[in-house]
Structure 1
């Protein structure tokens, strides 16, 4: 019974998601992810991790 219940739940969730996406104005997740990735790269380039001088002393 577990497999049938899980499959039924998955199918109902998938169909519900398709219905919601077709009938409502859902934002594009990929566009948000791409813009977040660009902002993360910009922050990483702006605030780089300082180089540690302790490694030179230990070698």
Structure 2
């Protein structure tokens, strides 16, 4: 009984997520994350301070 009680929210959330994914157009979260990482990397490379001459590299 304790296992069912403690995992009730997980089971209901999983079932609801499956229902939403099958019946509605849900955006691809992995694609959004990858796009955000590419944009963040581009911004970081463009606005990074230049290295000083005495840094060893």
**TM-score computed with the length of structure 1 as normaliser:** 0.74
Extract unaligned runs of 5+ from structure 1: none
Matches of 1:7 and 1:49 in 2, distance apart? 49
Determine the structure 1 residue equivalent to 2:42.
42
CA shift at 1:12, angstroms?
1.0
Alignment partner, residue 13 of structure 2: 13
Paired residues, what number?
Answer: 54
Match of 1:27 in 2: 27
Q: What is the root-mean-square deviation in Å for CA atoms of aligned residues?
A: 2.0
What's the offset of the Cα at 1:9? Answer: 1.7
Runs of 4 or more off by more than 2 Å in structure 1?
Answer: 1-4, 49-52
Secondary structure of 1:49's partner?
coil
Structure 2: how far apart are the matches of 1:6 and 1:21? 25
